Structure formats: structure tokens, C-alpha cells
Chains A and B, each alone.
Chain A
Amino acid sequence: GAGVSQSPRYKVAKRGQDVALRCDPISGHVSLFWYQQALGQGPEFLTYFQNEAQLDKSGLPSDRFFAERPEGSVSTLKIQRTQQEDSAVYLCASSTMSGGLYNEQFFGPGTRLTVL
């Protein structure tokens, strides 16, 4: 069956440009998470959606980061005025049950963002 998909897989941006990263979760999964993985590090939590509601955005590093999931399925992570420190792999994960507390999160392949 279809897993979590993300697009684009690779994105190169010039410093100061805006970027939009897309995540298609597994159909029917109510929980959706975004993580940021810097080179050689573990993923770090950015934000969490339950259906269309963004219930936790405590991990977003600055107000340049914005995420939405307007219809409770596809989600977009937007980064405005990109900086070099934004270079990382952005991972999306989805799970069943609200909060995903008990169930495994299924991860997408990630989008590798490079800011020049």
C-alpha cells in the first residue's frame, strides 16, 4: 500500500527565498508530525497536527516556519526567507489514533533542503 510521500525530495534554495515542502500522509491517518534532521543528528520535532488542527508547534525554530494541513490530509511546511542554518532533511510522519501516542509513526523519505 502507499506510504507517506514527500515532495520535492531535494530542494536547493538561495538564502532569502521562500520554500514549501509537501507531505502526503497515509490515507486515514489523523496524526501528522514534522521533524527536522540536521546532518549526523537525530530528527527533532517541529510540529504536530491532529486532522486539520495544529495542536503543537513548540518545535518550530522561528516565526519563519509555518505549517498547515487545511483539509486534514496533505500538509505543507513553509519556510520564509531561508537561512543557511535551515539546511536539513525535513521528515514527515503520520500515525493512527489522535496523538499517535500508542501507535508507530510511519515516516516519509524526507525532503533534503540545501540553502546556499
Chain B
Amino acid sequence: AQKVTQAQTEISVVEKEDVTLDCVYETRDTTYYLFWYKQPPSGELVFLIRRNSFDEQNEISGRYSWNFQKSTSSFNFTITASQVVDSAVYFCALSEGGSQGNLIFGKGTKLSVKP
């Protein structure tokens, strides 16, 4: 069965600290896609990244970086030098290759960045 686990329910950091959000997934498909979305207090989900199962290269985009490790079924997200505007709920999601593209979400990690 497919599943996404975000073990960290809430994280609180002080501005400029680095923070890593964990994501572990389960799937039997060999082809799948992993996503991270941000949900600020306004409620609208904002796409951050998509990674397919054949591409294990880590990715960096500004202060954001992602570490994909198939050996541990993990797709972790790191924010470097966190800012107050990073405060939000972050969701990791999985889409299986044999599906219509619907996303399977984790329960989310609420990140609070204090000034």
C-alpha cells in the first residue's frame, strides 16, 4: 500500500537557523513521483518541487534543498537560514506511476520560525 509519513508534527526554530523536514514514503511501484507543497496560513497549497523515482540527484533552489534517497525511501527538505515567511505547514506527497496522478499526502509538518 502507498503511504507518506511525516513524523514531525510541529517544529519551531529561531530565524536564521537551518531546519530539515523529514518525509518517508511507501510504494510498490518502481515509477513514482514525490512532491513538496507549502501551505501558508492563507490556506492555498503552493508547489515547491517534483522529483521522479529515477532521478536521485539532490536539488538546491535558493535556501531550499531536497535530499532524495531511495535506499531509505526518504525525501527530506532542508531550509537554510530560515525566515519568518517560511512559517507554514509543509506537505510531502507521492504520486504512483500507475495512478491518474492523484497525490497521496502526508499529515504535514507545521514549521514556526520565530524572529
Interface footprint category on B: 20 to 34
The minimal Cβ–Cβ distance linking A39 to chain B, given in whole angstroms, is 11
User: Once the chains bind, are B43 and A99 in contact (CB under 8 Å)?
Assistant: no
Q: Is A62 an interface residue (CB 8 A)?
A: no
Q: Is B112 an interface residue (CB 8 A)?
A: no
User: Once the chains bind, are B44 and A107 in contact (CB under 8 Å)?
Assistant: yes
Q: Which residue of the partner chain A has the closest CB to B106?
A: A42
The residue among B35, B93, B99, B107 with the most chain A CB atoms within 10 A of its own CB is: B99
Number of interface residues of A (CB under 8 A): 29
| A contact residues vs B (CB 8 Å cutoff) | 31, 33, 35, 40-45, 48, 50, 55-56, 59, 89, 91, 93, 95, 99-102, 104-110
Partner of A101, one of B4, B33, B47, B93: B33
User: Once the chains bind, are A95 and B43 in contact (CB under 8 Å)?
Assistant: no
User: How far is A20 from B103 in the complex, measured between Cα atoms in Å?
Assistant: 23
User: Once the chains bind, are B104 and A45 in contact (CB under 8 Å)?
Assistant: yes
Q: Is B71 an interface residue (CB 8 A)?
A: no
Partner of B42, one of A40, A102, A109: A109
The minimal Cβ–Cβ distance linking A79 to chain B, given in whole angstroms, is 19
Give the contacts of B49-89 with A (CB-CB under 8 A): 50, 52
The residue among B52, B91, B99, B100 with the most chain A CB atoms within 10 A of its own CB is: B100
Q: A104-B47, A105-B47, A107-B44 are in contact. Are A99 and B107 (CB under 8 A)?
A: no
User: How far is A43 from B92 in the complex, measured between Cα atoms in Å?
Assistant: 11
User: Once the chains bind, are A107 and B45 in contact (CB under 8 Å)?
Assistant: yes
List the 5 closest pairs (A to B, CB-CB), nearest first: A42-B105, A100-B101, A107-B45, A45-B102, A101-B101
